[in-house]
Each structure stands twice: as C-alpha cells, then as structure tokens.
Amino acid sequence: MSVCAVTVKRVKRIAIVGAGPAGISAAKHLIAEGCFDTIDIFEQRACLGGVWNYYPHTPSYHIEVPQTNPHQPPEEPYWSNGKDCGAPAKDGKSRPIFITPMYDRLESNLPHFLMKYSDDPSLEDLPLFAPHELVLQYLNNYGSEIRHLVKFQTQVYDVRQVSHDEREGWLVCSKNLISNKTNEEFYNAVAVASGHYSVPTLPDIPGIKQWNEAYPRVITHSKSYRSPDIFAGQKVMIIGNSASGLDIAAQIGSVSKLPVIVSRRSENSLSLKSNTDWKVERPEIIEFLSPADDTRAVKFADGTTESRIDRAVFCTGYYFSFPFLSSVKPSFTTTGERVENLYKHLFSIDHPTIAFLGVPTKIVPFRTCEGQAAVIAQVWSSRLNLPTKLKMKEWEVQRIADRGEGKRFHELRLLEDLAYHNEMVDWAKEASPTGVGRIPPKWSKKDEWTRCRVGAIKAAYMERGEARSSVRSMEELGFSYGDWLEANIGFE
C-alpha cells in the first residue's frame, strides 16, 4: 500500500452521472476551475432535478416482498406522453419516467435558508418549508447555466477502467433511451451524483412472504406512495419513523381509520404534530402471523398483536446501489447498506478519479454537495492532494470501528453534517494556487443554532395548518437567534 500522498494528475475529461442537486453542484464547481476540456453530464430523465421530480402516477410499480437485494440492474423506465409528468412533452413524444419517492403534499423538512445553495438565496422567497414543486423549480432555475452540458434521456449502464493515450481512465458506456443507440466515451474521471433513492429496502420479517402471497397489494413501500386518498376508511400500519415516514403517517391519518399504527425501532425527534391522538406507536414487527386464520395480523417485539390490517406501508429506506459501477473492483457495494472503499464518504480509495457526491445521510444536502464538489474540483485539477492510500484506508477502518458497517456508517448525527461541510471547506482552502475556483462559505453559529431546532420549527410551522404557506421566516414562528443570543450573552 502506498505511503506517498496521492496527487491526481490533472484530468481533462470528466463525466458526471446524474443531473440532480449533487450533479448540478458538481458541474458548477468543476466549471469554476477553468481547466477541464470536457464536462459531460449524463441524466436518464428528460429534465433536471433528480429525486425532486414528481410523477402523480406509479403505473404498474411493483416491489418484491421482501426486497433485500441491493444488486439490481439499471432501472427500467416507464413511458409518458407528458400528461402525468411535471414537464409535459411539447412535441407529443413519450418521455422516460423513473419513479422517485416524491409524493403529493410533500414539503421540505429543512427551512429554506438552510436548504438553499449558498450562492442562490431565491429559495428564501418561498414558504419556510417549501413544497416539492417549488424546490424543483428552484433547481431548474439554479441549473439553467449547466443545461448545455447535459445528455438528457441517456442512461449510463457501465463504467470500465481502461488505458487511453498511456493514461488510466474510464470508459463510460451509455444508452440513449429514445433511440436505443449505445455509446462509449473515455473520461479521466467520473463523479457519481445519481442519488440513492432507487432500490427500496423491505426487510425479510418472518412470515412476510406468505402473508404477502395471501394478501397481495396490502404491503407497499413508500416509494410508491403518492396520496392518502386510497387509504380512506382503512386500518393502516406504517413501518419506520424517518421524517418521510412520519409525514406519510400524518397524511394518511387524515383520512384513514384511527389510530394509525406506527411501528418503529427507535425514537425520532421530528414529530410533526403535537397532538398524537391520530396514531399509536408500536415496537418493531417480529412476525407476520400465519394467514391461515385470515386475520391479517402481525406480532410486535413486546408481544402485542394487531389484526385486520388493510394496508402496511414500509418507510424503511433504500439501498446504496450503483449498477453501472459493477465492473469496478474492488466493489463499492456488498450489502447495500453503505458505500465501501471510500475516504470521507467522497473519494474512492483505490481509484481517486471516481468520487461520490451526496452519500452521507441525515444531512443538509445542497450545501453538503457544495463542499464536496469544491474538494473534488481541486483534487482533479491537481491543486489539492489526497492523503496517502494508507491514511485513507485507516479513516475507513476507524469509521467502521466507530459506527459499524451498516447504515450508520454514512449517518451524520446532529451538527455532524454542518461540521463535515465546514471540514470540506477548510480542506478546499488548502488548494494551491489560491484565488482559483469556487469555495462555498462555512456554516455560521446561527446556522448551527437553527439546525438544532429544526424539528421544533417544523412542528410550529405545521400547526399553522393551511395558513403555513404564508410563513417566510422562523421569526414568525417565535424562533429568533438574535433574541436567544441577547438572553444568553456569556453562555454561548
């Protein structure tokens, strides 16, 4: 293993996979370096925005029950003439649709001034917690200047290491989804910005397969959830208590039988309603009981049971899955619970000309990707070195010791996400020569103060009901950093 610092020879041609929030940020920072010959962005959809694209219908969407395999082939598109798409096809031709977890009435779970990109404050003109369609509009506006780099409706299906002009690089194999024509192009580096909301996780709980066979279409995953309407008058169980899981449970509770059953493994501070009469919490499910007696029942870890369940919605997250990287060795995904062989959740340790954006979870995503993109741009322009391969591997080993090999490996706890971004910014500032490229600002003390109170701010926002759309600042909800600072002078 190398004991020398890793200096990446300046690359000339870069491929970015994905034109969502991470891909847009990557492109802007790479352009700002002013030294790359080619920057191509591959996007399988017909538009920018990635996971923020919303499609009201999920035609024939099917998930295996259970679904425990992260190693899925490249996703197959559905086809739309634009009538059920956020961006209608003006020419009347069909467009490839890739289902996202976006659902009707979804609002961001971060206040706009934390969520926005650092150099575009226009998101602050919107409601404090912006609805998904306005976030998508914001992304399209922000990404307008990089649209000319995007190969839309083009899916990357393989990335292979090759030699070209005596340099190691990557053969990016793609397919135009409209013409079905394939293409192979050489790049010196690949930025992976494809997200991690494609392959759902649906655990193999004892009895679940037989239960699903007996009661088909009762069990679903939140990826296919769009509206609470189909749950009207039904007894519903939600499995998982992430931010989206709690939001979906609250929406369904407005039309379903009450209470909604929420099965969870752990506590979540992001409760969106102060009144919880609409739900009853249960521990994790340990068994789906035999369908022989036709009671549609489950058993929980505390020994209690629930029967006559009409719908069970699993809000249990997604695997990390990058089928187009399956040719790269060593593998980046084994269990799908984390991305392996990465330094700082960012650079491939064995292949530093492959980098991943947006891998950490429970983060402020847009700004996190800005910090990552700044570092990637400067490493690939040879203005910034990576540590030795030994040091990078030591970081991964220590991270495993601290957090394990599962989903918690990439989880950044409260304020760790802000500290991680600040670390990226400090790292980017070490680049030489200085005064080149683009470096985002660090988070402030006010930002840290706000981040610690996001759950309470969102709860106060939701309590405004339909009137919440007029709220533009946290101060309107009684959260003032200035007042807090004045009252706590000397105690900060």
Tokens of 110: 């971060």
Rounded Cα distance, 371 and 257, in Å:
45
Tell me if 101 sits within 8 A of 222, measured CB to CB.
yes
Q: What is the radius of gyration, based on Cα positions, of the chain?
A: 23
Q: How far is CA 209 from the centre of its chain?
A: 28
Please, which residues have CB within 8 angstroms of residue 334's CB and are 6 or more apart in sequence?
340
Which residue stretches of 301-415 are H helix? 365-380, 389-403
Instruction: Return the SS3 of 190.
Output: strand
Q: pLDDT 10s digit of each residue in the chain, 492 long?
A: 344 577 888 899 999 999 999 999 999 999 999 999 999 999 999 999 999 999 887 766 788 999 999 999 999 998 887 654 444 454 556 889 999 999 999 999 999 999 999 999 999 999 999 999 999 999 999 999 999 999 999 999 999 999 877 778 999 999 999 999 999 999 999 999 999 999 999 999 999 999 999 999 999 999 999 999 999 999 999 999 888 888 999 999 999 999 999 998 876 555 544 457 899 999 999 999 999 988 999 999 999 999 999 999 999 999 999 999 999 999 999 999 999 999 999 999 999 999 999 999 999 999 999 999 999 999 999 999 999 999 999 999 999 999 999 999 999 999 999 999 999 999 999 999 888 899 999 999 999 999 999 999 999 999 999 999 999 999 999 999 999 999 987 655
Q: Give, as one character, the DSSP assignment of residue 108.
A: -
pLDDT at 293: 85
What local confidence, expressed as pLDDT, does residue 92 receive?
58
Residue 60's pLDDT is: 62
CA distance 133 to 139: 10
Instruction: Say what the pTM is.
Output: 0.95
H helix intervals, 266-337 = none
- Residue identified by tokens 């919880």 is 276
CA–CA distance, 278 with 258 (Å, rounded to integer):
6
Q: Which residues of 48-69 are buried (b: 16+ CB within 10 A; e: fewer)?
A: bbbbbbbbeebeeeeeebbbee
Alpha helices by DSSP H, listed for 54-145, are: 112-115, 132-142
Residue-wise DSSP of 221-283:
EGGG---GGGGTT--EEEE--SHHHHHHHHHHHTTSSSSEEEE-SS--S----S--TTEEEE-
Contacts of 375 (CB under 8 A, 6+ apart): 346, 384, 424, 427, 428
What is residue 2's predicted lDDT score, i.e. its pLDDT? Answer: 42
pLDDT recorded at residue 80: 81
Report DSSP state, residue 206.
Answer: T
Give the containing element (helix H, strand E) for 168: strand 167-176
Cβ-based neighbours of 75, under 8 Å, separated by 6 or more: 44, 98, 198
Q: Which residues pair with residue 159 across a beta bridge?
A: 172
Nearest in space to 458 (alpha carbons), one of 244, 270, 241, 250: 270
How many alpha carbons lie under 13 Å from residue 65 in its C-beta half-sphere?
22
Partners of 151 in the β-ladder: 42
How much is the pLDDT for 270? 52
What whole-number distance in Å separates Cα of residue 425 and Cα of residue 438?
10
What is the enclosing helix (H) or strand (E) of 211? Answer: helix 208-214
Determine what percent of the chain falls in helix, strand and coil, rounding each to the nearest 5: 30, 20, 50
- Do 95 and 80 meet the contact criterion of CB atoms below 8 Å apart? yes
What region, left, alpha or beta, does residue 296 occupy, with left being phi > 0 and alpha being psi -120 to 50 degrees?
left
Residue 239's closest CA among 306, 292, 183? 306
Q: Do residues 342 and 358 lie in contact, with contact meaning Cβ atoms separated by under 8 Å?
A: no
